[in-house]
Chain A
Amino acid sequence: EVQLLESGGGLVQPGGSLRLSCAASGFTFSTYDMSWVRQAPGKGLEWVTGISGGDGSAYYADSVKGRFTISKDSSKDMLYLQMNTLRGDDTALYYCARGTYGLDVWGQGTTVTVSS
């Protein structure tokens, strides 16, 4: 069964950092693009970042560019999101999803709360 399981969320102060993880299983992780998508409380979906399964090229939404970094470790079937200089508007449920063209599989999400 294809699965994605996010972890690493929590409460962090403004200006702080957090690293999210996404464990993939049931498919050949190394060959797939991957994305992070977030959803602020009561709001819609926002694509945050994606990484190519081929050359590892990364792309970011303007709202996180320069603060967030996506990475993959194909030896561990893991996707990561390093989040620095966190702000209140980064508070959201963060999903990892398979793909950057289709987003056909989603995890259950991990919650990030940025507050003092």
Chain B
Amino acid sequence: DVVMTQSPLSLPVTLGQPASISCRSSQSLVYSDGNTYLNWFQQRPGQSPRRLIYKVSNRDSGVPDRFSGSGSGTDFTLKISRVEAEDVGIYYCMQATHWPRTFGQGTKVEIK
């Protein structure tokens, strides 16, 4: 199985400051169709997960533009340009190139 490794696992951030989460995969996530199926999800406390980013860098409808995704191959990053209070939660990367699909361990974002 493809192992997804996130860092850091805990990320205290000052309001208004940027935040960055790394996600590394144990194998390339480039699929035979040329796409890279790397997703980012946000899970706020007590809520279901919500997809933020798909195929590395495509933001979902309604997702603030302070969220951005980048990367290629095995190395990916989620960035929040200016953290707001509503961004508190756990962020997961997930690969959907290989079976079975696998998630990273999650990164807990909290306000300092």
Contact = CB atoms under 8 A, between A and B. Distances in A.
Contacts, number: 56
Contacts of B1: 62
Interface of A: 35, 37, 44-47, 50, 59-62, 95, 100-104, 106-109
Contact of A45 (B55, B60, B94, B96): B94
A109 B47 CA distance: 10
A45 B100 contact: no
A47 B49 contact: no
Contact of B103 (A45, A107, A109): A45
Interface residues of B, number: 24
A45 B92 contact: yes
A101 B60 contact: no
A12 B41 CA distance: 30
B69 interface: no
